[in-house]
Amino acid sequence: MSFFSSRRERRLWLALAIVLAAIYATMAHAPAIAAFLRERNSLTATMFLLFLVSLVVISILFVSRRPGRAEIAAGAGILIVYLMAWLRIGVATPEERTHLFEYSLVAALVHEALLERRENGRHVPAPAILALIISILLGWLDEGMQSLLPGRVYDIMDVAFNALAATMIIGARCLLAFLRRRVQARRDGV
């Protein structure tokens, strides 16, 4: 029996590994990249664009069917919450704000992989909570690795940003799943 429950689960874990490799591989160069963009007055715009692109990617990756009005309304509300979080994190530099989209994508991939695994008959207790724990640990690992690099430091606020991003996306995904079930129950007359 294969470790993975399906090809889709394997692809999700592979996508997660690629995302993490990109995050971890660029952490040593992040200050130089940020300085380069800051000198050209394009750091904030670039970070905001990456943030929006990641939200679109997350939406495309995880919407398996045409959403209804309730889901679209909830999705718009979630997008507004993300944008407000992005704009209102006053203590964060644009570089620190990247945690919102990096670890949202990480958490969404972990959550989806665990849901896929459970749907294919494997035992996965509380996928949302397990995805949150895994995502927070991966974010914590990120900070631990940074503490080993010259010019980088361990920052508990970054761990908090990673946890916030993971909590927001998993909460949003659970809300959308709840709405789907509720709308389907109404259609079925339950």
pLDDT of residue 91: 55
pLDDT greater at residue 82 or residue 19: 19
Give the DSSP per-residue string, the chain.
--SSSSHHHHHHHHHHHHHHHHHHHHTTTHHHHHHHHHHTT-HHHHHHHHHHHHHHHHHHHH--S---HHHHHHHHHHHHHHHHHHHH-TT--HHHHHHHHHHHHHHHHHHHHHHHHHHTT---SSHHHHHHHHHHHHHHHHHHHHTTSTT----HHHHHHHHHHHHHHHHHHHHHHHHHHHHHHHHHT-
Of 131 and 169, which is predicted with more confidence?
Answer: 131
pLDDT value at position 67?
67
Residue 132 has pLDDT above 60, yes or no: yes
- What pLDDT digit, counting tens, does each position of 114-130 carry? 999 999 999 999 999 99
Mean pLDDT of the chain: 82
Residue 190 has pLDDT above 80, yes or no: no
Residue 139 has pLDDT above 60, yes or no: yes
pLDDT over threshold 60, residue 98:
yes
